[in-house]
């Protein structure tokens, strides 16, 4: 199981914020990296071992 969060520099979740949605929905693929870079974001990924699969079900 893997969880992915998109966070700003303060650690706040931004995946559903208005500016993030504007970058991903309204910008071309060429414009998107520059738009996202302005938010100083990073991706935080957490993974669980495969043997825990059934515990999460």
What is the distance between the alpha carbons of residues 51 and 54, in angstroms, rounded to a whole number?
7
pTM: 0.60
Q: Looking at residue 16, what is its pLDDT? A: 86
Who wins on pLDDT, 20 or 48?
Answer: 20
* Residue 1: band (very low, low, confident or very high) from pLDDT cuts 50, 70, 90: low
Is 20:14 a contact under the CB 8 Å cutoff?
yes
The whole-number pLDDT of residue 15 equals: 85
> What percent of the chain is helix, strand and coil (3-state, nearest 5)?
40, 25, 40
Instruction: Report domain extents, the chain.
Output: 2-56
> CA-CA distance, 34 to 51, in Å (whole number)?
40
What pLDDT score does 4 carry?
87
Cβ pair 43, 6 in contact under 8 A: yes
């Amino acid at each position: 199981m893997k969880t992915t969060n998109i966070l700003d520099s303060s650690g706040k979740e931004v995946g559903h914020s208005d500016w993030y949605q504007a970058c991903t929905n309204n910008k071309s693929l060429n414009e998107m990296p520059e738009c996202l870079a302005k938010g100083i974001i990073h991706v935080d990924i957490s993974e669980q071992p495969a043997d825990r699969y059934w515990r999460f079900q």
